[in-house]
Amino acid sequence: MCGIIGYIGHQPATPILINGLRRLEYRGYDSAGVALLERGKLAVTKRAGKVEQLACAVDEAAAATAGIAHTRWATHGRPTRRNAHPHTSGGRVAVVHNGIVENYAELKAKLQAAGYRFTSQTDSEVLAHLIDHKLASGGDVLAATTAALTEVVGTFGLAVVCREQPDQLIAARRGSPLLIGLRADETYLASDATALVGHTDQVVYLEDDEVAVCTRGRYRLVDLQNRERARQSRTIELPLGTADKGGYDHFLLKEIMEQPQSVTDGLRGRLSSAEGISHLGGLNLTEPQLRGFGRLLVIGCGSAYYSGLVGKYLLERLTGLPVDVEFASEFRYRQPVLAPGTLCVLVSQSGETADTLAAMRELKRRGLPTLGLVNVVGSSLAREVDGGIYLHAGPEISVASTKAFTAQVVAQLLLGLKIARHRDLSLAEGQEIVAALGGLPGVIARVLESAPRIKAIAAKYAGCRQAMYLGRDSLYPVALEGAHKLKEISYVQAEAYPAGEMKHGANALIDEELLVVFLTPRNALYAKARSNLEEVRARGSQLIALGTQGDQDIAKLARDVITIPPVSPWIEPIVANLPLQLLAYYMAVERGTDVDQPRNLAKSVTVE
């Protein structure tokens, strides 16, 4: 993995491919490459590092009107020029690949025995040689590709070009997203619709085990047995400002600051003050079904998982139902006990997270209803779940999630309100939650105004090597997300604990060098949290407290205090998380890390 772009048409292909790669940079990558078909030749250029290094190495004025390109996030093999895609075989086949070839060692041994020489450490090179090997047996590149893929165990989003058939591109998918873009006599391939901005809004999504033959302005779909598939193109919305930082230094800061608007968009038309309820048209659930569920299951990865943990506190309090939260990567392998009457909620910003998709398919196989909380319209998860809630957070370019995390928690609160009002939540209680949510965008805007103070605090602690985040009740998962964000973008080792658990081991870590971020707003557990804070202070740590505006007691105990307004407990976790996003951002900037594309991370994780 991570990004694929392809083109065949009448325009010079190089600038289209390079600009497409630039639009895919947000996904995270470590090398890039391009393969061009020109005058009966296959020209491949690859570079470790950024797309700009590749752009400097290729001739954007080249006459080629067909080609494929790739940004790689290393899975097998180090991030080097040799391991970059495209991979070639025999000078006639070039392949770019997202995914994992699980049986690559077996295939590699067979191909080496047949005389093929491997030059990279990757699993993906196997695909180029395997397709070339099938070509040597006769037939065209489509037949060779389908024959090769029947031998592959694993996942792939694949694009293939062949020197001997320069008038077509081949695309294939299993478990890794790929789509075709259409425009007059031009055809595009992409792993992400973002790469098509400014070119076309007419797309066809490939399904698993489908292969596409793309020519100028046309496409044909078959399965791996060469049986024809039919599918019409659909129109998607591609915001032109996706790759614009809007005057901010980084996409991450822009996305943090966009949250008043993104939350407004996520709430628009969904709240009824008169009824004290949320209106969610995409759930595809009847009122008897909403009343009949006996358990909720929330599944996600990374920040989506932490949003589910926040949701657990809110959903259980709202609905009275038990809520389980699972890592998608663990869920699919641990033989979970799934009770009838469970509503399953899959949370994913991209809608393409491999483990989350696999969990969803297992749930559907077992006959349980699935809902998706997804930010990307047309994504695999959005297409395959039984119903869901679009987050409407807008494009999130930075690898680290901020506004999508907030939108995920808001969506779970909307879902909980919907279920609760169909059970036993009173009108007055529902109206209280609606009022809190309705005022949330304004509260977020007020909190974000404290950015200059948080920036100054971050500068004081940017040299810390380790950090610990502490919170109670629904602020414990907020502490987990805060620590997660800090380690993602600043590379500071950070972890989080429930504040009441400090005495059971974590106290041993506290010394004068440890940064402790303690979440202590004035809520129902304030007195207990304050006692825990006193314990931390007594051990001399570098202590930042997140408290409620006007709380003079906390100001006397911590070295520095970040404040939030007094808010309803229903939105307090959302509001408390905002300063932690800013703290992580400003510490990362102070430390000089790559804020938008942290090392070793990718935006859309389409491999296990």
Q: Which residues are catalytic?
A: 2, 603
Instruction: Compute the radius of gyration of the chain from its Cα atoms.
Output: 25
Both tokens of residue 255?
């996305």
CB 502 within 8 A of CB 534: no
Q: For residue 17, give the nearest of 66, 56, 63, 61 by alpha carbon.
A: 66
Dist. CA 281–CA 574, nearest whole Å? 24
Residue 499 — φ and ψ, nearest 5°? -60, -35
Q: Which amino acid is at 432?
A: E
CA distance readout (Å), 166 to 97, 191, 377, 486: 19, 21, 33, 48
CB 391 within 8 A of CB 376: no
Tally of CB atoms within 10 A around 463: 12
Dist. CA 87–CA 127, nearest whole Å? 8
Dist. CA 291–CA 283, nearest whole Å? 14
Sheet hosting strand 2-8, strand order edge to edge: 41-48, 31-38, 66-72, 2-8, 186-190, 179-183, 202-205, 234-235
Q: For residue 516, give the nearest of 539, 491, 484 by alpha carbon.
A: 539
